[in-house]
């Protein structure tokens, strides 16, 4: 069992005897949560590699539907409340009355109770129970809608009804965690949150894998039941850990994790503080709108695509999106700090402001150009090597059962989506850093149009052209192109009058393009057998891929050397020699 929260190794840093500032607590908490996200994603990716070998594309596609079912209920039930509580109820740092003769700063400081502190904790707990009140009817409604709209193939899947019910129960159990979660959030106990979520994710992965492997070994067709059992175990462990760690905090502060009467006329039904309810109601429509924008493509895929196509697309996203999650996203996050030094968009028309921020603007343009050039090189490798190598990659990682499906073709098509994912991510990072609220709203309306474009392309590709899962990739490419167009126009308007982005500085050299084109032809010729290629073809393909990488390094050596940080050049002599040799060759060329 996990230790009580006051002794938690992670949260001990958040509760020293000399209380740190809220800013330092927030920074440490953010770092803990980021590490938790990285660990959880790595664990999920590893588990998927096991499940791919035991589950068919149809079952995997059905699992994504049920996951979307649960996420939708959770979003519509709790997101607006979480935003309201975060705005209204912060950490209480007011002095506490001494109890049992304890002096401030002593080890038993958690027993120092003040009426205001207990009241604030109880307010958070009471308000969090509204999520459960919303979630119960939503679960019934969404379950009915799912069964009414499901295809015959879905309804005929073994244990579908049982799996849907288990997902519904797991979702309600997750909502039961909200009061404890809100207390942990209010007290900035991010270590507790991270441990709870990671342990629950670990158990979920183990239960899902064990159930799927056992069913395969014993010849049982459990359908999507392994995923449902994993989701239920996740919710149970989440409840156990949160109750074990947050329960003592409420008890020691004279608060309860159940809805309790709070004296005062400002409370609705003597339990719910009115201001947070008003804020939550205001944000509720926005939460629904954001959920539709965020997961609208998932809803459309579930509605328009057959189950095998959904499973094949989920697999391609799992592999193809790995580069975006592990490389593109950290670059975008770090770039926001640099872009954040720029003035807001409406101030760029001021000459004085432009002159004051000229250095920051020049650095931002240079940084954006370098990142886009670097992304273009990665995209060149992905397009040149990815499509012909996809069948071999799929057979090695996911097993031979997927090679007979449309998954290899979908993964090959997904490689062409990588340049769009990369470009859109860095451009939207720029927009998010400098756009005004009015421009952000305009972007949201544009995203509605982008979603309509996605829906129209999905319909044409799936229902008219019959492209299957490859049509989903095409629809995503169209939607991503719309988002890039808006961001590109925005950046152009922002940099108007300045030295803006130049296409010739962001694309690979002709030598690199020639190497990539040659590698693509060579691999297509060597791997005509697809996933049935033998060791000889595999070795020859490795040689071609290696030669392609070396060729790109050679033709892009000047650009890549310019990306090396000065600190690294000073520390490693070999890098200094590379820079010196490049400078000498440049001088000779100029002479």
466-482 average pLDDT score? 89
Long-range own/partner contacts, residues 348-351 (CB < 8 A, 24 or more apart)? 348/494, 348/496
Whether residue 526 is predicted with pLDDT greater than 80 in this model: the reply is yes
Please give the pLDDT value at position 172: 96
Whether residue 356 is predicted with pLDDT greater than 90 in this model: the reply is no
Tens of pLDDT, residues 260-311 = 766 666 666 666 677 777 777 777 877 787 777 778 878 888 888 888 888 8
Question: Is the distance from CB of 57 to CB of 315 less than 8 angstroms?
Answer: yes
CA pair distance 572, 414, nearest whole angstrom: 38
562-568 average pLDDT score? 63
Domain ranges of the chain: 55-299, 312-504, 558-591
Whether residue 94 is predicted with pLDDT greater than 60 in this model: the reply is no
Tracing tokens 């230790």 back to the chain, one arrives at: 3
Whether residue 177 is predicted with pLDDT greater than 70 in this model: the reply is yes
Please give the pLDDT value at position 98: 37
182-195 average pLDDT score? 77
- Mean pLDDT, the chain, rounded, equals 77
Encoded tokens for 314: 């989920």
Q: What are the residues whose beta carbons fall under 8 Å from the beta carbon of 149, sequence distance 6 or more?
A: 303
122-130 average pLDDT score? 82
| Angle at alpha carbon of residue 182, lines to 178 and 185, rounded to 5° | 135
Q: Which range among 15-29, 48-62, 369-383 has the greatest average pLDDT?
A: 369-383
543-549 average pLDDT score? 92
CA pair distance 97, 114, nearest whole angstrom: 5
Whether residue 11 is predicted with pLDDT greater than 50 in this model: the reply is no
Please give the pLDDT value at position 550: 94
Give the pTM. Answer: 0.71
Please give the pLDDT value at position 110: 31
Nearest alpha carbon to residue 297 among 439, 475, 163:
475
Whether residue 312 is predicted with pLDDT greater than 50 in this model: the reply is yes
pLDDT band at 37 (very low <50, low <70, confident <90, very high): low
Tracing tokens 């295809």 back to the chain, one arrives at: 151
Sign of CA pseudo-dihedral 512, 517, 521, 526:
positive
CA pair distance 259, 270, nearest whole angstrom: 10
Please give the pLDDT value at position 81: 83
Encoded tokens for 313: 């697309």
pLDDT band at 5 (very low <50, low <70, confident <90, very high): very low
Tens of pLDDT, residues 408-417 = 888 899 999 9
């Amino acid at each position: 069992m996990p230790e009580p929260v006051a002794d938690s190794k992670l949260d001990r840093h958040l509760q020293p005897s000399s209380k740190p500032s809220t800013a330092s607590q927030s920074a440490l908490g953010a770092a803990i949560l980021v590490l938790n996200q990285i660990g959880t994603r790595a664990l999920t990716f590893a588990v998927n590699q096991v499940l791919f070998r035991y589950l068919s594309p149809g079952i995997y596609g059905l699992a994504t539907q049920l996951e979307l079912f649960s996420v939708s209920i959770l979003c519509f039930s709790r997101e607006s409340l979480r935003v309201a509580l975060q705005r209204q109820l912060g950490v209480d740092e007011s002095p506490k009355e001494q109890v049992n003769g304890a002096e401030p700063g002593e080890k038993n400081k958690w027993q120092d109770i003040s009426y205001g502190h207990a009241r604030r904790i109880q307010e958070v707990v009471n308000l969090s129970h509204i999520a459960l009140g919303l979630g119960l009817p939503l679960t019934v409604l969404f379950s009915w809608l799912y069964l009414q709209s499901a295809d015959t193939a879905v309804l005929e899947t073994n244990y579908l009804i049982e799996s849907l019910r288990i997902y519904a129960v797991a979702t309600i159990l997750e909502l039961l965690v909200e009061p404890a979660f809100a207390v942990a959030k209010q007290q900035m106990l991010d270590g507790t949150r991270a441990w709870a979520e990671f342990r629950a994710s670990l158990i979920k992965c183990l239960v899902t894998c064990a159930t799927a492997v056992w069913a395969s070994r014993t010849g049982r067709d459990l359908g999507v039941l392994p995923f449902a059992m994993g989701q239920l175990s996740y919710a149970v462990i989440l409840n156990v850990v949160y109750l074990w760690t947050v329960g003592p905090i409420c008890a020691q502060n004279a608060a309860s994790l159940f809805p309790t009467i709070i004296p005062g006329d400002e409370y609705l039904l003597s339990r719910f503080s009115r201001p947070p309810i008003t804020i939550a109601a205001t944000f509720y429509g926005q939460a629904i709108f954001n959920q539709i924008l965020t997961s609208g493509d998932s809803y459309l895929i579930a509605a328009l695509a057959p189950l095998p196509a959904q499973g094949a697309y989920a697999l391609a996203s799992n592999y193809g999106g790995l580069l975006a999650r592990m490389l593109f996203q950290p670059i975008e996050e770090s770039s926001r700090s640099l872009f954040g030094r720029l003035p807001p968009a409406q101030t760029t028309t001021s000459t004085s402001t432009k002159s004051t921020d000229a250095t920051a603007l020049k650095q931002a343009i240079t940084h954006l150009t370098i990142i886009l050039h670097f992304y273009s090189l990665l995209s060149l490798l992905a397009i040149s090597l990815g499509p012909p190598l996809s069948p071999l990659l799929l057979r090695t990682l996911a097993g031979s059962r997927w090679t007979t499906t449309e998954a290899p073709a979908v993964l090959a098509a997904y490689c062409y989506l990588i340049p769009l994912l990369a470009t859109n991510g860095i451009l939207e990072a720029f927009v998010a850093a400098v756009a005004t609220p009015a421009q952000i709203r305009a972007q949201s309306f544009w995203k509605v149009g982008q979603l309509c474009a996605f829906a129209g392309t999905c319909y044409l590709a799936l229902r008219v052209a019959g492209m299957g899962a490859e049509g989903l990739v095409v629809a995503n490419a169209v939607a991503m192109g719309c988002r890039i167009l808006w961001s590109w126009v925005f950046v152009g308007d922002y940099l108007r009058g300045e030295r803006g982005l130049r296409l010739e500085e962001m694309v690979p050299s002709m030598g690199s393009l020639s190497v990539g084109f040659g590698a693509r032809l060579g691999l297509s010729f060597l791997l005509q057998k697809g996933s049935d290629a033998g060791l000889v073809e595999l070795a020859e393909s490795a040689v071609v891929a290696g030669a392609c990488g070396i060729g790109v390094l050679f033709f892009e050596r000047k650009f890549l050397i310019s990306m090396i940080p000065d600190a690294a050049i000073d520390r490693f002599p070999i890098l200094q020699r590379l820079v010196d040799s490049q400078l000498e060759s440049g001088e000779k060329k100029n002479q």
